Amino acid sequence: MGNNIDKIDIKDLQLRCVIGIQEWERKTLQDVLINITLFTDLSAAGKSDNIEDTVNYKTLCKQIIAMTEASSFFLVEMLASKIAELALEDERVTTVQVQVEKPGALRFARTVGVTIVRSR
């Protein structure tokens, strides 16, 4: 891998899961909105046009969906951290930025969320 800093963006992945600290939140599926940026070197894939030379974001997305829908975390911080861990399992991903929002969690606010950045 070279020194290129390229990005793969997964935008507005809308899922439902058990998340929150209130008693009613532990019994009801909540909407979450997830945005992920994978930092990697895409030059090999740009030359070869071969899926083997890049991060397979479809596979990663399926893993994130399965993990999120089966989760029951109290905090969006924990969900974001687990998503980052999944992304960093692919050694081609050097850094990942994960934003998890919980629409409607705050009265008078469209959404509230966290953004984390993790590197290997």
The stretch 80-100 carries a mean pLDDT of 98
* Contact between 6 and 41 (Cβ < 8 Å): yes
Q: Domain for residue 20, yes or no?
A: yes
**Residue 116 structure tokens:** 């984390």
The domain that contains 49 carries what CATH number?
A: 3.30.1130.10
Per-residue confidence (pLDDT) for residue 112, from 0 to 100: 95
41-67: pLDDT as tens digits: 999 999 999 999 999 999 999 999 999
Whole-number percent of the chain with pLDDT over 70: 98
Q: With 80 as the cut, is the pLDDT of residue 120 above it?
A: yes
The stretch 24-35 carries a mean pLDDT of 96
Q: With 70 as the cut, is the pLDDT of residue 2 above it?
A: no
Per-residue confidence (pLDDT) for residue 109, from 0 to 100: 92
Q: Domain for residue 1, yes or no?
A: no
Per-residue confidence (pLDDT) for residue 7, from 0 to 100: 98
* Rounded Cα distance, 5 and 77, in Å: 26
In the chain, the number of structural domains is 1
The stretch 90-99 carries a mean pLDDT of 97
- The pLDDT confidence band at residue 76, using thresholds 50, 70 and 90, is very high
Which backbone phi and psi does 28 adopt, to 5 degrees? -125, 135
Report, as residue numbers or ranges, the catalytic residues. 102
Q: Domain for residue 65, yes or no?
A: yes
Note down the domain range covering 56: 6-119
**Is the pTM of the predicted complex or chain greater than 0.85?**
yes
